[in-house]
């Protein structure tokens, strides 16, 4: 994983945690926490990112 990807996933995790802190509904809180966890997994346990390895494919603009 290149540094750009790692930075992207870290920033997304931080954004999801911020949204979780501001959530007013328990289901929204949990959803943001789960998403943050997925992003943090990608930061700390990088994988190939292809469908066969179970990676998440991210569209780039």
pLDDT for res 52: 40
Q: What is the pLDDT of residues 25-38, one digit of tens each?
A: 999 999 999 999 99
Residue 30 CA to residue 40 CA, distance in Å, equals 15
For the cut 50, the answer to whether the pLDDT of residue 50 exceeds it is no
The domains of the chain are located at: 3-53
pLDDT for res 47: 72
Find out whether 33 and 16 touch, Cβ atoms under 8 Å: yes
């Amino acid at each position: 994983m290149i540094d750009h990807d790692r930075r992207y996933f870290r920033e997304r995790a931080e954004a999801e945690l911020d949204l979780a802190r501001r959530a007013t509904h328990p289901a929204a809180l949990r959803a943001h926490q789960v998403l943050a966890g997925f992003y943090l997994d990608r930061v700390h346990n990088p994988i190939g990112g292809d469908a066969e390895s179970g990676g998440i494919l991210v569209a780039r603009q």
